[in-house]
Chains A and B, each alone.
Chain A
Amino acid sequence: MAAERARAETTTQVWNDPNAKPYIRIENVTKKFGDFVAVNDVSLNIYRGELFALLGGSGCGKTTLLRMLAGFEQPTSGKIYIDDVDMADIPPYERPTNMMFQSYALFPHMTVEQNVAFGLKQDKTPAEQVKTRVGSILDMVQMRQFAHRKPHQLSGGQRQRVALARSLVKEPKLLLLDEPLGALDKKLREATQFEIMNIQDRLGITFIVVTHDQEEAMTLSTRIGVMNSGQIVQVGTPKEIYEYPNTKFVADFIGSVNLFEGHIVEDEPGHVLISAPEAGTEIYIDHGISSAPGAKVWVAIRPEKMDLTKNRPDDSDRNSAPGIVKGIAYMGNLSVYLIKLDSGKEVKVTMSNQRRAAEHAIDWDDRVYVTWHANSPVALLS
Chain B
Amino acid sequence: MASDIPYQTSLPLGAQLHRLLAAIGLRPRAAVILVPYLWLTIFFVVPCFIILKISLAQTLIAQPPYTPMLGPDSVPHEQIFDNFKRLGNDLLYIVAYGNSLKLAAISTVLCLLIGYPMAYGIARCSPSTRSLLLLAIILPFWTSFLIRVYAWMSILGKEGVLNDFLLAIGVINEPLQILYTPTAMYIGIVYAYLPFMILPLYSNLEKMDMSLLEAAADLGCRPFKAFCVITIPLSLPGIIAGSLLVFIPAVGEYVIPELLGGPDALMIGRVVYNEFSQNRDWPMSSAVAVAILLALVIPIMLFQYFQNKAQEAPK
Contact = CB atoms under 8 A, between A and B. Distances in A.
Contacts of B225: 122
Contacts of A93: 217-223
B314 A108 contact: yes
Contact of A108 (B214, B219, B221, B315): B315
Nearest to B312: A152
Interface residues of A, number: 28
A93 B234 CA distance: 21
Given A72-B214, A101-B211, A101-B214, A109 B313 contact: yes
Nearest to B236: A109
A152 B218 contact: no
A70 interface: yes
A109 B234 contact: yes
A93 B223 CA distance: 9
Taking each of A70, A72, A105, A123, which has the highest tally of chain B beta carbons within 10 Å of its own beta carbon? A105
B212 A105 contact: yes
Interface string A70-110: 11100000000000000000011111011101010111110
A91 B217 contact: yes
B73 interface: no
B110 interface: no
B212 A107 contact: yes
Nearest to A94: B220
A170 interface: yes
Nearest to B226: A93
A70 B314 contact: no
B218 A97 contact: yes
A166 B217 contact: no
B230 interface: yes
Nearest to B315: A108
Contacts of B209: 103, 105
A70 B218 contact: yes
B219 A105 contact: no
A92 B314 contact: no
B211 A170 contact: no
A119 interface: yes
Contacts of A166: 215, 219
Interface string A135-178: 00000000000000011100000000000001100100000000
B215 A107 contact: yes
A119 B225 CA distance: 13
A109 B315 CA distance: 10
A119 B220 contact: yes
A244 interface: no
B215 A101 contact: yes
A15 interface: no
B249 interface: no
Contacts of B215: 99, 101, 105-107, 166
A170 B233 contact: no
24 contacts: A71-B218, A72-B218, A91-B217, A92-B217, A92-B218, A93-B217, A93-B218, A93-B219, A94-B220, A99-B214, A101-B211, A101-B214, A105-B211, A105-B214, A106-B215, A107-B215, A108-B234, A109-B233, A118-B216, A119-B220, A122-B219, A122-B221, A150-B314, A151-B314
